[in-house]
């Protein structure tokens, strides 16, 4: 009787270990997916900010060029 109890306890422990491994893999996979999604969102956000800064820099450069051209046009040499 003691041997049967030991065998059923061992099988039960193996099932619990298996459930734990599956749950751990599921949790790990979920955390990795969440981290990748957050990284992608952050990368896209930074790319948009970079595009806006680049656009602003190009706009300022053009405006400065037009001002210089206007000042050079008004000054006789």
CA distance 24 to 19: 8
| pLDDT tens track for 12-69 | 999 999 999 999 999 999 999 999 999 999 999 999 999 999 999 999 999 999 988 8
Nearest-angstrom CA–CA distance, 19 and 9: 15
CA distance 10 to 34: 36
pLDDT value at residue 21: 95
CA torsion, ordered 59, 65, 71, 75, to nearest 10 deg: -170
d(CA 56, CA 49): 11
Q: Which two tokens stand for residue 61?
A: 């450069």
């Amino acid at each position: 009787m003691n041997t049967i109890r030991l065998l059923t306890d061992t099988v039960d422990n193996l099932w619990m270990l298996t459930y734990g491994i599956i749950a751990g893999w599921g949790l790990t996979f979920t955390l990795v997916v969440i981290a990748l999604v957050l990284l992608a969102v952050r990368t896209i956000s930074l790319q948009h900010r970079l595009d806006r800064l680049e656009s602003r820099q190009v706009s300022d450069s053009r405006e400065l060029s037009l001002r210089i051209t206007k000042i050079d046009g008004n000054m006789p040499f």
